[in-house]
Amino acid sequence: MKKRPLFPHISGYRFAALLLSLSFAFSSLCTPALAVGTVSDDGTSASSETSSDTSSDTSSDTSSDASSSESTSSDSSSGSSESSDSDSTDQNTSSDSSSASNSTVDTGFTVNSTAVYLVNLDSGTVIYEKNADVMMYPASLAKIMTCLLAIENCDDLTGTTVTASYAVFDRLWGMNASNAGLYPGEELRMIDLLYALMLRSGCDAAGIIAEAIGGSEEAFVQMMNDKAAEIGCTSTHFTNSSGLHDPEQYTTAIDMYRITMYAMQYDIFKEISTSYSYTMPATNKNDERTITHTCSIMNPSSSYYDENVHAIKTGTTDESGRNLVSYASKDAYNYLLITMGAPIYYADGTEIEQNLCYQDTLNFYDWAFNDWAFQTIVKTTDVKGQAKVALCSSQDIVNAVPEQDVNRLMLKSIDSSALQMIANLPEEPIDAPITKGDYLGTLEIRMEDRTIATVNLVAAESLKRSAWLAFCRGVFNFFTSPGFWLTILTLIIAFVAWVFIMRQININRQRRRRAARKAGGMNRTNPPRNYSPSRSGNNIRKSPNYRGPSTSSGRKPQQKRPAPRSANSAPRTNTNNRTGHNSRPAPRNPQNNKRK
């Protein structure tokens, strides 16, 4: 059976060319381009990372302004008591609000209050904390929330007049509640009710405001709880608008800080709550009168007086102890302090002569103003590390400096030189070009195994890229890339395949030739020509069937051989008689028939 070639429709050369084309196309997809200045896998351009890393570090590390209660609450909830955060210009970054537990802070005085939370408002730094997340009875500190809701839900505080209902006084009857001297049926402006609420801590004013804003005491309490949840309080629950004791009414020092900071975004709240006195106009039930704040720290004639301290709200019950939320400013430093649970009685039940809540407040403010200050930890000119540089012919390192000055509120007794400076720079070289100010890494500032600040490190100078080094890098990357070796492997495979195909083509060609010769030999009737091996002169033995030379010598052409006879035909008689019908004609040269 005749065999067909391996690829009958494609010649060997065309198939090899097609296979090589496919190989080069595949390798071009896998081989990286040879480009001058190809950046290595680990050495990304420094300038490309500057904006993203700087913005991410700044947004995650920078302490928020103290006027934002939401950011303040996030800083406060870190559970720390002493920390050093960003300065008042909000220029520094800090990865963690650094703080120390109150057991490690030597305040130099005895802290009597059960819960304390002291925050620097210029930076949001919590410099002291004690039991800030322990649930306490708020007492009249609840009136801060009452005042806040009145401000938010009354559009015109001076133009809104409210008439006190008898139901308010009926609820307060026999409860020994503090009052502002208001009467049922008295017509009062909302602004006057707020002063009576915050300065005189009037429970009667709280009840009148609750009915005017919420429609009822119960509805207003629901508004109080909803607002607390909105602000971010996690351990606060109110049951009345005045803060009278109820086992189900509780809060924490942190939550009171969040509520107060939220309320202080309203200037009218700060104006009302930090005023020492206020003159209430005459009403249909009362003559004009002046009321004063319940906090003696604001009373110039009191032994507790401090001109730098502004009380926001006091709160006292036998169950809660003495509470105070206050605000103080001195020498451009501003602090907010919450003290809760200062004892009222000795263990034997006798009343303590001194107000321990006031003592704690004054001691904490003196400690904060005298022992704490902003200090410059690092400057932009300080070299804090060196990063390796590649593709630069002039030098192989670049100095890393802080992106900005780092100022932190710290105890004055702490030596900034004793702080730990940990530079986080890449181990692998950074590819040039590098522009001055490009992001290189971060600097972590630690104190007593606590991170107090983190700032970006940037390049102190600009470096140019060497075109020759960049070209050599590109060539090296090309010849060492997996794609290059994959290309070589593809070419080898293609060459082996081409050799195999050409071999198969040659084998098939030889088979066809042998088959053609074999088919031609089967059609021949005469035996092959036999020549004598001995040739001498003209005495040459020729085959009996030799019929002379071809027509090229001028002889007549060879006659057509007769067709082969069948097996049933009679054998031909070999006779020299050529005269018969079937006899062959005598050859022209009679010497050819002579036998020697």
Residue 50 lies in a domain: no
Residue 120 lies in a domain: no
Crossing angle (nearest 10°) for helices 203-214 and 190-198: 140
Among 323-332, 461-470, 523-532, the minimum mean pLDDT is found in: 523-532
Residue 586 lies in a domain: no
Q: Which CATH number do you get for residue 200? A: 3.40.710.10
User: Domain residues for 198?
Assistant: 132-323
User: Does the pLDDT of residue 328 top 70, yes or no?
Assistant: yes
**Token duo for residue 71:** 């950011």
How far is the C-alpha of 306 from the C-alpha of 357, rounded, in Å?
14
Three-state secondary structure call for residue 117 = strand
pLDDT-derived band of residue 478, with 50, 70 and 90 as boundaries?
A: confident
Residue 159 lies in a domain: yes
User: Does the pLDDT of residue 374 top 80, yes or no?
Assistant: yes
Residue 336 lies in a domain: no
pLDDT the model gives residue 156? 95
Crossing angle (nearest 10°) for helices 217-231 and 203-214: 90
Q: Which of 530 and 172 is assigned the larger pLDDT?
A: 172
pLDDT the model gives residue 397? 87
pLDDT tens digit sequence for 543-558: 666 555 555 555 555 5
- Residue 92 has φ and ψ, to the nearest 5°, of -105, 160
How far is the C-alpha of 463 from the C-alpha of 470, rounded, in Å?
14
Residue 107 lies in a domain: no
Among the residues of 396-542, which ranges form H helices?
Answer: 467-479, 482-522
User: Does the pLDDT of residue 15 top 70, yes or no?
Assistant: no
Residue 166 lies in a domain: yes
Is the distance from CB of 148 to CB of 362 less than 8 angstroms? no
pLDDT tens digit sequence for 225-235: 999 999 999 99
Among 114-123, 131-140, 239-248, 434-443, the minimum mean pLDDT is found in: 434-443
- Give me the number of domains the chain comprises: 1
From the CB of residue 183, how many other CB atoms can be counted at a distance below 10 Å?
14
Q: Which residues pair with 338 in a beta bridge?
A: 117, 325
Q: Rounded to two decimals, what is the model's pTM?
A: 0.64
Residue 208 lies in a domain: yes
pLDDT tens digit sequence for 302-321: 999 999 999 999 999 999 99
User: Does the pLDDT of residue 468 top 90, yes or no?
Assistant: no
